[in-house]
Structure 1
């Protein structure tokens, strides 16, 4: 027997050995706080965890003996075994265990001397109380109670205790009468040892929705970086080629390079510039014929859609929009001839 336990009674030695076996036979061991949990709820928690985790209640001194005998990094759990502690054994990872333990918690009334886990807020609105001493009791703790319609009513929402503050007896009594149960009661994971690392609640409490959103954002940013930096991957190669094609087309149009795939765009651009000249001339008293006016109206209506989007691979909707604009340009060609004979 190890030196740590040679002086212990037999039953305590057996407890230490049981704790050591639990640690050695499971991937994770955690220290949980049992303070304030009614016996009935402890039994319910055990039933909820059956098949997933085992709760081992033991004295802190015996937990300390077992951890010291095992030695190594697991012995650091001794720093978290304070108050009414117990051990929990499981093969789940610490994040899943933390989430499961949070689900076992229930709301209970506050007791004098307890610390508020969050801001305790009394909502505004009617209560079930008839006029009486309750009004004065609520007002004494800062709750704006009034009598309205034969009932006691809370005039406005009131924060009676801020997070981290101690709940005094008067406030505890008032909250109890109002049916407000601010205390989360259940197994509180103090720390978990998993694969050589100690995990504390601040590391395990994760907003899963925010985490998923961050992953999605990172994936989108990585996609954009790959496309803009021209780093081809199996996922981004299509967008990179599409962007390159679009940029090449834009250069061809701007430089008036007469290539078969863009000559129609060059002509269309020339037509729009011609119509702009025609409208400018009209504003200075130049009369336009009917065909030119119709072409100019069509070009003006299509102008918002003609603003070039960021260079990316075109979707089916964008291709349809481009075809529509090309049709409008072709319908306006008659105006070009009409203006210049």
Structure 2
């Protein structure tokens, strides 16, 4: 659906024009979700990204207006607008941007109704609480607690919520008391449009260690294939020649072909065989 801006107030038209201008100035145009980020942390994240990316906060409807006017493939960016979206612009490739945004993530205390992004584990050990009602509060939340040596102690490590579970009010209160921060807060990349292609988080979330291990394995397998199939390359030519020389020497020794380079090997083999035969006949 085409959206028109001639009826918009001037400040909104200016916002739309700025979104369009920035989309033309940077190689990457993306959307990030700001939901749940406190203002102080958002400001820190913007400082962390300074020199790398520009964040443009505006209304979702104005984002949609801007992309409708831009047209072409980039206009499909508006299909990803959801929640409290903001624009992000950078000249970095989307993989580097995604990694940088992950590095700006921080942990916060869960609120009632939050969804646990991963298992929530309360470790065993002493707490800072003196004996009191806190013991009952912990036990009601499923955390085995007792009083030992005048302190409240958690007797065993306990998983109090699984990834995807909704945090209850009771559990949120206990986690806050224990200062256990479980919720990831940061700029969640919704989509990135870069050089004519859309990149979603599922594509950008790469385990770099696993990726490098796979690259290393692929390199070794390609090297071995080149050597064993005798396909010479700049990297494998020396290894192929070395393999050929070893195989030629082995053949000469096995066939007792008396050549200058293998005569000592043939004599050595004959000597070892004679020693073996002598040992068997004694």
Q: Same fold (TM over 0.5)?
A: yes
- Tell whether the 8 Å contact from 2:108 to 2:181 is kept in structure 1 after alignment: yes
| Alpha-carbon distance between aligned partners in 1 of 2:280 and 2:141, rounded to the nearest angstrom | 76
Deviation of 1:108 after TM superposition, in Å, equals 0.9
Aligned to 1:114: 114
Moved over 6 A (4+): none
Query: Highest relative contact order (Cα 8 Å, sep 6+), 1 or 2?
Result: 2
Cα distance in 1 for residues equivalent to 2:71 and 2:215:
38
Aligned to 1:326: none
Is 1:146 the counterpart of 2:146? The answer is: yes
Residue in structure 2 matched with residue 196 of structure 1 by the alignment: 196
1:28 to 2:25 alignment: no
Report what 2:131 is aligned to: 131
Q: Residue 96 of structure 1 aligns with which residue?
A: 96
Q: What CA distance in whole angstroms lies between the structure 2 residues aligned with 1:141 and 1:182? A: 16
CA contact (8 A) 2:3 2:65 kept: no
Q: Name the counterpart of 1:10.
A: 10
Shift of 1:125: 1.8
* TM-fit CA distance, 1:204: 1.1
Assess if the C-alpha contact under 8 Å between 2:3 and 2:68 holds in 1: no
Which residue number corresponds to residue 181 of structure 1? 181
- Gap regions ≥5 residues in structure 2: none
Match of 1:329 in 2: none
Matched residue count = 281
- Structure 2 residue aligned with 1:242: 242
Cα deviation 1:3-30 (Å, max 9, x = unaligned): 6212222221121111111111111111
Shift of 1:150: 2.3
Residues in 2 aligned to 1:220 and 1:130: alpha-carbon distance in whole angstroms? 60
> Structure 1: how far apart are the matches of 2:186 and 2:3?
36
Task: Map 1:74-85; keep pairs closer than 5 Å.
Answer: 74-85=74-85
Give the Cα separation in 2 of the matches to 1:132 and 1:263.
Answer: 91
More helix by share: 1
**CA deviation profile, 1:223-245 (whole Å, cap 9, x unmatched):** 11111000011211111111011
Separation in 1 of the partners of 2:66 and 2:145? 55
Partner of 1:220: 220
User: What is the rounded CA distance, in whole Å, between the counterparts of 1:237 and 1:40 in structure 2?
Assistant: 59
Instruction: State the secondary structure of the residue aligned to 2:181.
Output: coil
1:157-182 superposed Cα distances (whole Å, 9 cap, x missing partner): 21111111111111111111111101
Q: TM-score, normalised by structure 1?
A: 0.79
Pick closer, same or farther for the CA change 1:152–1:3 going to 2, 3 Å: closer
The two structures, once aligned, show a CA RMSD in angstroms of 1.5
- Structure 1 gap segments, 5+ residues each: 287-341
Deviations along 1:96-138, one digit per CA (max 9) or x if unpaired, are 1111111222111001101111111111222222222212211
Instruction: Determine the C-alpha separation between the residues in 1 that align with 2:280 and 2:138.
Output: 76
Alpha-carbon offset, residue 212 of structure 1: 2.0
Q: Is the 8 A contact 2:119 2:162 kept in 1?
A: yes
SS for the counterpart of 1:182 is strand
TM-score, normalised via structure 2 length: 0.95
Say which SS state the counterpart of residue 146 (structure 2) adopts: strand
Q: Aligned equivalents of 1:158 and 1:234: distance in 2?
A: 57
